[in-house]
């Protein structure tokens, strides 16, 4: 049967990227998505905004919701100090299998914990299962109608501390209106919008950075 797009993306990484070189993995995926097949990675333009937020925060504990093929996982993990940890949640087994191989090709498996499961099942288990008290950074890039319920769940589970940053992809395209309204109007967040473009296109999209005020 025909291969899937994530399988073809992985092949492109294994063909064009150097093992242990995260930047070459990022470039190989961006080249594949620009010249072969579009895929819903954050991409190079929004990716540089993600990079700047990670570099500014220097986070020890990072949570990613929605791994997909592991592109943003590699972007984040490559900037983390060796002692830091990135937990990424992915409930589609096929995507998780691809992402594991992309992360390993980049040589970042020691900093990344990919959990195959749904965010709503695993957010409540972060403390007892991973010994995580609070996160320094959360990157939201999963189903758009899940950003708001999962944010409220993280609040309820005490996973956010004063200063925790939520960074959300796609706040314009496909859009997350209920989430945006919440973080922009809640007294518990200081929110700002980083205007950019939908990955590999000229369409407008952007990231919303929201600091939890406790
Ligand atoms: C139980 C559901 C909620 N919990 C979840 N827990 C764990 N993983 C979850 C997940 N939801 C979804 N996922 C996974 O996240 C990923 C989903 C991402 C959804 N992203 C998008 O729809 C998206 C879509 C676009 C897009 C934009 C324009 C367009 F014309 C077409 C698509 C661009 C993006 O950057 C996107 O991120 C998948 O790998 C999925 O299996
Ligand atoms: Mg996205």
ipTM above 0.95, yes or no: yes
State the average pLDDT for the chain. 98
Residue in this structure with the two tokens 């990919």, named with its chain if needed: 114
* Coarse DSSP helix, strand, coil percentages of the chain, rounded to the nearest 5 percent: 45, 25, 30
Please write the tens of the pLDDT for every residue from 118-167.
999 999 999 999 999 999 999 999 999 999 999 999 999 999 999 999 99
Give the CA count within 13 Å in the CB-facing half-sphere of 70.
Answer: 35
Mutate to test the pocket of ligand 1, among 7, 119, 142 (most ligand atoms within 8 A of CB): 142
pLDDT at 135: 98
Pocket residue to mutate for ligand 1, from 40, 70, 176, 199, most atoms within 8 A of Cβ: 40
* Active site annotation includes 55: no
Cα 62 from Cα 20, distance rounded (Å) = 21
* Ordered strands of the 135-140 beta sheet: 112-116, 85-90, 61-65, 135-140, 160-168, 204-212, 189-197
What pLDDT does 213 receive?
98
């Amino acid at each position: 049967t025909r291969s899937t797009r994530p399988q073809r993306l992985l092949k492109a990484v294994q063909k064009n990227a150097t093992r242990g070189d995260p930047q070459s993995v990022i470039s190989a995926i961006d080249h594949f998505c620009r010249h072969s097949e579009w895929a819903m990675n954050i991409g190079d333009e929004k990716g540089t905004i993600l990079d700047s937020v990670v570099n500014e925060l220097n986070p020890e504990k990072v949570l990613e919701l929605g791994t997909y093929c592991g592109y943003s996982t590699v972007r984040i993990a490559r900037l983390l100090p060796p002692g830091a940890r990135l937990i990424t949640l992915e409930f589609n087994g096929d995507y998780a299998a691809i992402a594991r191989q992309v992360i390993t090709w980049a040589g970042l498996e020691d900093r990344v914990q990919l959990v195959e499961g749904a965010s709503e099942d695993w957010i409540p288990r972060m403390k007892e299962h991973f010994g995580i008290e609070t996160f320094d950074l959360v990157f939201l890039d999963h189903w758009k109608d899940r950003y708001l319920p999962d944010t409220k769940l993280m609040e309820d589970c005490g996973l956010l501390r004063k200063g925790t940053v939520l960074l959300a992809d796609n706040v314009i395209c496909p859009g997350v209106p209920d989430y945006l309204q919440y973080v922009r109007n809640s007294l518990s967040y200081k929110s700002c919008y980083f205007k950019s473009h939908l990955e590999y296109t000229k369409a407008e999209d952007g990231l919303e950075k929201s600091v939890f005020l406790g």
